[in-house]
């Protein structure tokens, strides 16, 4: 029961994360001042904290060790890549080209993480 609740919470926060990333990416492309609103700086981080906490909770309940499950380690490594690319896309990219390429890369990594989660395979082709 607890695992099911955590999984539902996790999937919900995944959808919110993607939606907020797409929204902020669109605003970045439009050079919108909306990116400077306080909620835009707070809500995505709060959601991502819940996402991460639910993931850790599921790992603990299921007694999964990332060192023994390659697909889980692949998701963790991909998460780190997504975070780096996302910060370049939304904040740290110095040119529009860098930001756009990082945005596309972050979306590709996000898609990879989803595919790994569903397939439980490192190479979910």
pTM value is 0.94
Domain count, the chain: 2
Per-residue pLDDT of the chain (125 residues; tens, 9 = 90+): 999 999 999 999 999 999 999 999 999 999 999 999 999 999 999 999 999 999 999 999 999 999 999 999 999 999 999 999 999 999 999 999 999 999 999 999 999 999 999 999 999 98
Range of the domain at 122: 69-125
pLDDT at 125: 85
Domain boundary among 33, 63, 93: 63
Nearest to 89 by CA among 19, 36, 27: 27
Domain boundary among 63, 83, 107: 63
Same domain for 39 and 81, yes or no, is: no
**The two structure tokens encoding residue 66:** 């990332």
Domain boundary among 48, 63, 78: 63
């Amino acid at each position: 029961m607890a695992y099911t609740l955590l999984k539902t919470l996790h999937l919900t926060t995944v959808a919110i994360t993607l939606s907020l990333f797409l929204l902020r990416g669109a605003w970045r492309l439009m050079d919108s001042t909306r990116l400077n609103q306080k909620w835009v700086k707070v809500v995505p981080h709060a959601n991502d904290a819940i996402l991460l906490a639910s993931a850790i909770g599921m790992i603990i309940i299921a007694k999964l060790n990332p060192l023994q499950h390659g697909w889980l380690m692949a998701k963790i490594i991909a998460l780190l890549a997504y975070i780096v690319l996302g910060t370049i896309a939304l904040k740290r990219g110095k040119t529009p080209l860098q930001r756009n390429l990082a945005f596309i890369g972050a979306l590709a990594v996000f898609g990879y993480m989803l595919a790994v989660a569903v397939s439980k395979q490192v190479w979910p082709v």
